[in-house]
Amino acid sequence: MLVGVPKEIKTHEYRVGLTPSSVRELVHHGHSVIVESGAGAAIDFGDELYRAAGAEIVPTAEDVFARADMVVKVKEPQPVECRRLREGQILFTYLHLAPDPEQARLLVESDAVCVAYETVTDARGGLPLLAPMSEVAGRMSIQAGAHCLEKSQGGRGVLLGGVPGVPAAKVVVLGGGVVGTNAARMAMGMEAHVTVIDKSLPRLKELDLQFGAMLNTIYSTVDAIEEHVTGADLVIGGVLVPGASAPKLVTREMIGRMNPGSVVVDVAIDQGGCFETSKPTTHAEPTYLVDDVVHYCVANMPGGVARTSTVALNNATLPFALALADKGYRRALAEDIHLRRGLNVHEGKVTYKEVSEALGTPYTPAEDALGL
């Protein structure tokens, strides 16, 4: 199979779909790889490293999309990229279609085979291709939030961990999954006062066993969210419903009752966000104010630490990319139900139920689309 890697074009996105090491693995399996010139240059993966790994360097993204049997990316394709896709071509990347009807429409019109990282599952019910970026985003959310709390950034002028004689900041984490756990770990490491709110009692028990008395765990109700959010210095939104839009857990009214200069970081913004006041931002302009509360809603947070993120992502995606290339997508999806759950669009049909529900489009089960 001919696998293609274009350079990412989303604002301040420096990650790349395949590392040179991943290219070498694909070549070792008998496949050919083409990489757009400069695709990894920003994170010190220069063209010479890709050539040494066995890739062919091509001058433009158009070359990649025109020639490749499978395109491997990081972020969801932008409109210009969607229009370059063709019938039967495999797209393997993050999609986050639920809050993005235009992208969904363009992918449906392309007749391509679109496999989304974020809905591939594992035997434990986890999301193995989302987890590495959730780990990164969860950890980054605390350092971003701590920075936003500085007075020069519009914050309250609060040091997350306080100092002897001065209270630590109150950090509330919505969701005890991968994002929330990593955020809580970093916040506790900076000696903040940390509360995690989740609707799963088993998960709260796991967190209690893991972190002990350092962490305050609260069962999620409207009352609990209102009480803890309105009194927080920093709120991290880390709630995920796989493939679907994130629930709006924090209302505009709650935001209005927070202290001026408080900070919210919406890690769920790729899926629409879990604050009513959230709207996507970029690394170039990461924050805005609503009712004097600083909102950090960068839609590709892990892109800020692009080298770490790229290597972590490739560690997780490479086995699936190899399966798609080695077996062809039909056999790979037929044999692996977990990879099959990543199929969101297949030759003009939406094949992921939560996406179809979010967008109000017809739903075709992946098994039906593939003729299984």
Cβ–Cβ < 8 Å for 242, 118: yes
- Please, how many CA atoms are within 13 Å of residue 205, restricted to the half-sphere of its CB? 3
Element (H, E) at 56: strand 56-58
Cα–Cα nearest to 320, from 310, 312, 329, 311? 329
What count of other Cβ atoms lies within 10 Å of the Cβ of residue 29? 12
- Indicate if 292 belongs to the active site: no
Cα–Cα nearest to 344, from 275, 244, 272, 196? 244
Q: Which of 233, 266, 270, 336 is catalytic?
A: 270
Task: Please name the residue that has the structure tokens 């959230």.
Answer: 278
Pair of tokens at residue 22 = 């991943």
Cα(328)–Cα(277) distance, rounded to whole angstroms?
43
- Indicate if 193 belongs to the active site: no
What count of other Cβ atoms lies within 10 Å of the Cβ of residue 152? 7
Q: Which of 96, 193, 295, 338 is catalytic?
A: 96
Cα(317)–Cα(338) distance, rounded to whole angstroms?
13
User: At 193, phi and psi to the nearest 5?
Assistant: -90, 115
Cβ–Cβ < 8 Å for 19, 311: yes
Cβ–Cβ < 8 Å for 55, 23: yes
The dihedral region occupied by 70, where left means phi > 0, alpha psi between -120 and 50, and beta the remainder, is beta
Give the catalytic positions in this structure: 96, 270
